[in-house]
Chains A and B, each alone.
Chain A
Amino acid sequence: MTGADVPVWTACLVVVLALTGAGFSLVGAIGLVRLRTFYERVHAPTLGATLGMALIVAASILFFSVAEGRLVLRDLLIGVFLTVTTPVTLILLGRAATYRDRAEGNPDAPPDP
């Protein structure tokens, strides 16, 4: 996997896709620092788990498909499993924070649904 055997246009496209995806993930990480409350902050990392992930997976599929000379869709599974499992973590975190805020009687606790 040296990358020496892929044409220039592929390399450029892979770099653009991977860097854009990494950029979205970076903005998500910055959001973790910049946003103030828990409920705001938990939105930020989803950038890396959705569009950031999708672009990096696309870059990987493109690179290996061209390098191996056939359509390599193995990496799609990363996207599928990441998408299906992220809600479990986020809902668990959200419920824990909600429980804590209501138990402590915080003024910014979520209202009843």
Chain B
Amino acid sequence: MSRLLPHPLLSLALAAMWGLLNAPVTPATALLAGLVGWLVPFVMRLLRPGAVRVRAPGVILRLAGTVLVDVVRSNIDVARVILGLNAGTRRTGFVSIPLDLRNPTGLAVLSIIVTGTPGTLWVQYDSGTGRLLLHVLDLTDGDAWVRRIKDRYERPLMEIFS
């Protein structure tokens, strides 16, 4: 953002973390939290991360809600698969998804979402073609998975990190 505050989001996160670790917050810990949040991001400058701009807070909240529901649902699905509660045969396999999302931070968040929902595994991403290979534990319809990833996660992420 500026010379004085290079990564405002990181500063905020660090200060919040310091406050949580030292709760209840006293004036002394609040001062230290502010100092940590202000000074540590200067070390980050040596790593030269790209500037991260986040837009559309409403979309972030909606995406968080979607992911929360999906995490709970897929946890129960995978638990059923493991315990053998599902009737019929289960097919497992790889799905290739053409991604339009190119923002590195957006892709990192997508990998967290994919990993955080059991039943899908991020196998390989080809930055040249923009294709993502997923392994799906319960693969009934490959096209449905492509649509699910693109509609539910990729589109909101592109709005947030546009």
List residues of A whose CB falls within 8 A of some B CB: 24, 27-28, 30-31, 34-35, 37, 39-40, 42-44, 46-47, 50-51, 54, 70, 72-74, 76-77, 83-84, 86-87, 90-91, 94-95, 98, 110-113
Contacts and interface: CB of A to CB of B under 8 A. Distances in A.
Contact of B121 (A47, A94, A111): A94
A51 B75 contact: yes
Given A43-B137, A110-B133, A90 B79 contact: no
Classify the interface of chain A: helix, strand, loop or mixed.
helix
A111 B135 contact: no
Identify which of A43, A46, A51, A84 gathers the most chain B CB atoms within 10 Å of its CB: A43
Contacts of A34: 82, 84
A87 B112 CA distance: 6
A109 B143 CA distance: 21
B78 A44 contact: yes
Classify the interface of chain B: helix, strand, loop or mixed.
mixed
B80 to A, nearest CB: 9
A83 B121 CA distance: 14
A86 B75 contact: no
Identify which of B17, B96, B124, B125 gathers the most chain A CB atoms within 10 Å of its CB: B124
Given A86-B115, A94-B123, A112-B126, 17 more contacts: A27-B82, A30-B83, A34-B82, A39-B123, A40-B92, A40-B137, A47-B78, A73-B23, A76-B20, A77-B20, A86-B112, A87-B112, A87-B114, A87-B116, A91-B122, A94-B121, A110-B135
